[in-house]
């Protein structure tokens, strides 16, 4: 059932519906039958929910949106029966769109009972999504305590809670409280995450206060070395005439897929920061969100480096789908970057092939990384797209290999909680003994003669990120720094 769910290609369905509208009802009937035949399968319900949500986006009907919400809720309830917290983001968004406060409270009350017994990551995510759902419904008074608790339960990475809470407060004219929330982050944290520095300046401006400290932080963020890849400053993007995406979220969207001949060179721009990102950077942000949302910054950095290392290096006894030996993908993926950005095509293809497991058609499924679509607003507000962008440029040390920093990059700090560099760029060098693969539990890589276990890297709460790295001679290996 998991393979059937992973094989559900909504991009292909979108193309079919464009010429045969009845294809949507056929697909919906298929998954309704699957869910009816497998009532205790969470993935059967997820497949049904995904098609129902796609239909709701096509029709705009409340009844279709409600059907999708019911299926997601039921899938979440099945997860709770096994002690797992899942699908909180989809539920919060759909129920807030429906204006269904009663159901939002009911399901999240049940979710939080289970989440509070789990590690900080899952409790945190549930709190953030519940708070955001309440705020979307216009009840910031009720959302505030949930945001506050989220900030408290996950101190090593509460940036998504801070950013979303501050944005809701600013939208409602409460700049003073927004500033107080943003200043719970240290200067180093704001520099690491990027977006909070811009929100802080907004709050200071609204209050009529001196913005020089915020201006200095933003200058530090924007002062990064040149040339940079993976993104473009917003002003430069507008001046060059590159297409900037502003589509609404669509469950079957291909607009942010780096495999798309139409959209691979379209920029996605933050509404808060001064950065725009190419689709391959957006897709990396989606992987970080799906694989490591709420985890320690160091753990997210290690996941990002896994993608980079597969893009830039191999291992002697094994290969990875989409990696350096997959020449067909790397030589044939579309790349229509305009001057002066066309020199970035090689880098874009390398990352894109790895991110999507060597597949070349939009939406094609694979079993490498979780590259499921995430609304750009979410990967921006959680700061993972900025973190991925920084890693692409070599300014994020690799914690799985002793906080490795590539040549030419300096002024770095490397701990699990605060990580990043201040000067230089390097978007070509891999981490010689760096992360190549990971799972959410301790395991033995197969084969392992060319790899070494770096173990649980920057684990926050539960041990959920066991990495295997590229083997180097013992004397060349960097000892891991203790977590701080």
Q: For 40-56, give the DSSP string.
A: T-HHHHHHHHHHHHHHH
Average pLDDT, whole number, for the chain? 91
Where does a domain end: 168, 196, 223? 223
For residue 222, the model assigns a pLDDT of 86
Find out whether 90 and 50 touch, Cβ atoms under 8 Å.
no
Beta bridge partners of 300: none
Does 242 share its domain with 355? yes
Q: Would you say residue 4 has pLDDT above 80?
A: no
pLDDT in tens, 202-232: 999 999 999 999 999 999 998 776 688 999 9
Which has more pLDDT, 116 or 239?
116
For residue 337, the model assigns a pLDDT of 93
* pLDDT tier for residue 5 given thresholds of 50, 70 and 90: confident
Q: Would you say residue 253 has pLDDT above 70?
A: no
Where does a domain end: 206, 223, 240? 223
CB atoms within 10 A of CB 362: 23
Does 190 share its domain with 330? no
Is the pTM higher than 0.85? The answer reads: yes
Percent of the chain with pLDDT over 70: 94
Does 219 share its domain with 240? no
Torsion over CA: 382, 54, 42, 257 (sign): negative
DSSP codes of every residue in 461-479: SS---EEEEE---GGGPPP
Does 324 share its domain with 444? yes
Does 202 share its domain with 268? no
Does 257 share its domain with 208? no
Q: Would you say residue 300 has pLDDT above 60?
A: yes
Question: What average pLDDT score do residues 400-419 get?
Answer: 95
Q: Is 243 left (phi over 0), alpha (psi -120 to 50) or beta?
A: beta
* pLDDT tier for residue 474 given thresholds of 50, 70 and 90: very low
Find out whether 421 and 314 touch, Cβ atoms under 8 Å.
no
Does 203 share its domain with 244? no
Q: Is the peptide bond before 199 cis (omega within 30 degrees of 0)?
A: no
Quick one: which of 362, 228, 223, 212 has its CA closest to 283? 362
**Does the residue 278 lie in any domain?**
yes
The whole-angstrom distance between residue 202's C-alpha and the CA centroid of its chain comes to 25
**Does the residue 355 lie in any domain?**
yes
**Does the residue 64 lie in any domain?**
no
**Does the residue 149 lie in any domain?**
no
For residue 463, the model assigns a pLDDT of 64
Count of structural domains, the chain: 2
Which has more pLDDT, 461 or 427?
427
* pLDDT tier for residue 348 given thresholds of 50, 70 and 90: very high
**Does the residue 39 lie in any domain?**
no
Token code pair at residue 84: 């797992």
Does 194 share its domain with 286? no
Does 282 share its domain with 421? yes
CA 88 – CA 99 distance, rounded (Å) = 16
Does 295 share its domain with 363? yes
Does 340 share its domain with 270? yes
**Does the residue 45 lie in any domain?**
no
Does 200 share its domain with 290? no
pLDDT in tens, 119-147: 788 999 999 999 999 999 999 999 999 99
For residue 479, the model assigns a pLDDT of 41
| Full domain range(s) for residue 213 | 155-223
For residue 174, the model assigns a pLDDT of 98
Lowest-confidence segment of 87-101, 214-228, 366-380, 397-411 by average pLDDT = 214-228
Question: What average pLDDT score do residues 17-42 get?
Answer: 92
**Does the residue 459 lie in any domain?**
yes
Where does a domain end: 189, 223, 257? 223
**Does the residue 159 lie in any domain?**
yes
Lowest-confidence segment of 13-22, 271-280, 419-428, 472-481 by average pLDDT = 472-481
10 Å CB burial of residue 285 (0-12, 13-18, 19+) is buried
Which residues have C-beta within 8 Å of that of residue 466, sequence separation ≥ 6?
438, 439, 440, 441, 442, 443, 453, 455, 456
């Amino acid at each position: 059932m998991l393979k059937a769910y992973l094989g559900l290609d909504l991009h292909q369905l979108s193309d079919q519906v464009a010429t045969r509208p009845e294809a949507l009802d056929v697909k919906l009937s298929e998954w309704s039958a699957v869910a009816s035949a497998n009532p205790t399968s969470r993935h059967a319900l997820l497949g049904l929910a995904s098609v129902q949500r796609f239909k709701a986006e096509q029709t705009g009907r409340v009844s279709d949106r409600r059907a999708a919400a019911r299926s997601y809720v039921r899938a979440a309830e099945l997860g709770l029966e096994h002690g797992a917290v899942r699908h909180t983001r989809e539920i919060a968004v759909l129920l807030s769109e429906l204006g269904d406060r009663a159901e939002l409270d009911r399901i999240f009350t049940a979710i939080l009972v289970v989440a509070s017994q789990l590690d900080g990551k899952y409790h945190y995510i549930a709190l953030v999504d519940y708070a955001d759902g309440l705020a979307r419904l216009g009840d910031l008074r009720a959302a505030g305590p949930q945001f506050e608790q989220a900030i408290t339960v996950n101190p090593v990475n509460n940036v998504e809670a801070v950013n979303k809470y501050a944005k809701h407060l600013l939208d409602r004219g409460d700049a003073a409280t927004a500033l107080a929330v943003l200043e719970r982050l240290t200067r180093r944290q704001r520099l690491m995450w990027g977006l909070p520095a811009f929100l802080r300046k907004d709050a200071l401006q609204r209050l009529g206060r001196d913005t020089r400290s915020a201006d200095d932080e933003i200058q530090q963020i924007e002062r990064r070395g040149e040339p940079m890849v993976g993104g473009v400053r917003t002003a430069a993007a507008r001046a060059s005439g590159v297409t900037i995406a502003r589509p609404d979220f669509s469950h079957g969207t291909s607009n942010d897929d780096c495999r798309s001949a139409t959209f691979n060179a379209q920029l996605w721009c933050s509404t808060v920061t001064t950065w725009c990102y190419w689709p391959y950077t957006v897709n990396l942000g989606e992987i970080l969100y799906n694989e490591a949302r709420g985890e320690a910054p160091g753990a997210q950095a290690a996941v990002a480096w896994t993608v980079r290392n597969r893009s830039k290096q191999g291992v002697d006894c094994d290969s990875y789908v989409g990696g350096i030996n997959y020449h067909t993908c790397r030589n044939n993926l579309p790349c229509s970057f305009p001057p002066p950005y066309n020199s970035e095509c090689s880098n874009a293809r390398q990352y894109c092939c790895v991110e999507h497991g060597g597949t070349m058609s939009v939406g094609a499924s694979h079993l490498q990384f979780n590259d499921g679509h995430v609304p750009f607003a979410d990967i921006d507000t959680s700061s993972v797209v900025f973190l991925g962008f920084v890693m692409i440029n070599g300014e994020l040390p690799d914690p799985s290999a002793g906080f490795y920093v590539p040549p030419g990059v300096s002024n770095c700090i490397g701990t699990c909680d605060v990580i990043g560099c201040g000067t230089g760029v390097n978007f070509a060098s891999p981490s010689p003994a760096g992360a190549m693969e990971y799972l959410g539990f301790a395991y033995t890589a197969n084969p392992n003669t060319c790899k070494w276990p770096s173990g649980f890297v920057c684990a926050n709460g539960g041990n959920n990120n066991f990495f295997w790295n590229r083997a180097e001679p013992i004397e060349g290996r960097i000892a891991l720094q203790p977590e701080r």
